[in-house]
Amino acid sequence: MCALIVFFPPILFQTASACGWWGDGEGDDEGEVILVGKDGKPLAAEDARSEVDPAQLTRIANALRRRAKNSIDLLEAAQLYRRAAETGFAPAQNNLAAMYEKGMGVPVNLLEAAHWYQSAAEAGFVQAQHSFGEMLLDGRGVAKDTLVGTSWVRRAANQGHKSACIHLGRMYWNGINVPRDPLNALVWAIRAEALGESQAPRLKKQIHSALSAEEIELANKTAHEWQPEREY
């Protein structure tokens, strides 16, 4: 059983999943999660309210969120995310934004969600870049701006964020916020598929019907020569 050393009693929870969370899948359910200070040394329970490592706070919040059984558990997770987010830790800012966007442990607040996504996006955090781009494109929590929203989606896609890649591919295929460009759409669909996006094969199949064999070959060559950028 996983033991959580935190400043409130450890609890066991159900898993909650969401797209774009930082820190999930790292295996912190498999062993002990220890609250540590910025010097890397474990903190005693009475020191837990002092300065702590924001990455560790975020991982503990992740564990609480994934196994939460009620709103109190989610509220505790949100409070930990906020503590870490207020230190400037972009992954915690992203996760706190997702809590506000989905109403997990806190009331739905799209203004807060957009604020924290923007902070993390500007720090180079790829999941937040895509999420903030989506909010700008839809005008949720922020004034609608399709030009800037598209630039954030593209920035996330260029870093190899699979959801942003398929999103950009669909935009080019449908001519939404960008000129319609089936060849470029196929390039991004191929990249998304290589990154494990399950919806990419269907999009590829649709696009193939609009392209010649030579264009499909060019798209494959372009996609396979690509190396994602890295910001964070």
What is the separation, in whole angstroms, between the first and last Cα of the chain?
A: 33
Single-letter amino acid, residue 178: V
Please state the separation of Cα 124 from the chain's center in Å: 12
Q: How many domains are there within the chain?
A: 2
Q: Which domain holds residue 56?
A: 1-108
Identify which has the larger pLDDT, 39 or 178. 178
- For 220, the token pair is 């494959």
**If 0-12 CB within 10 Å is exposed, 13-18 middle and 19+ buried, where does residue 199 land?**
middle
Q: Is the pLDDT of residue 169 over 50?
A: yes
pLDDT at position 6, please?
40
Domain end (from 57, 91, 108): 108
Assess whether 23 and 138 both reside in one domain. Answer: no
Assess whether 82 and 165 both reside in one domain. Answer: no
Assess whether 94 and 67 both reside in one domain. Answer: yes
Domain end (from 108, 136, 159): 108
Assess whether 40 and 116 both reside in one domain. Answer: no
Assess whether 39 and 71 both reside in one domain. Answer: yes
Assess whether 98 and 47 both reside in one domain. Answer: yes
Question: Band of the pLDDT at 14, cuts 50, 70, 90?
Answer: very low
Assess whether 43 and 66 both reside in one domain. Answer: yes
Assess whether 142 and 82 both reside in one domain. Answer: no
How do residues 186-217 score in pLDDT, each as one tens digit?
999 999 999 999 999 999 999 999 999 999 99
Assess whether 163 and 173 both reside in one domain. Answer: yes
Q: Which of 32, 98, 85 is nearest to 57 (CA)?
A: 85
Q: Is the pLDDT of residue 98 over 90?
A: yes
Domain end (from 65, 80, 108): 108
pTM exceeding 0.85? no
Question: 140 CB contacts (<8 Å, ≥6 apart)?
Answer: 110, 113, 114, 134
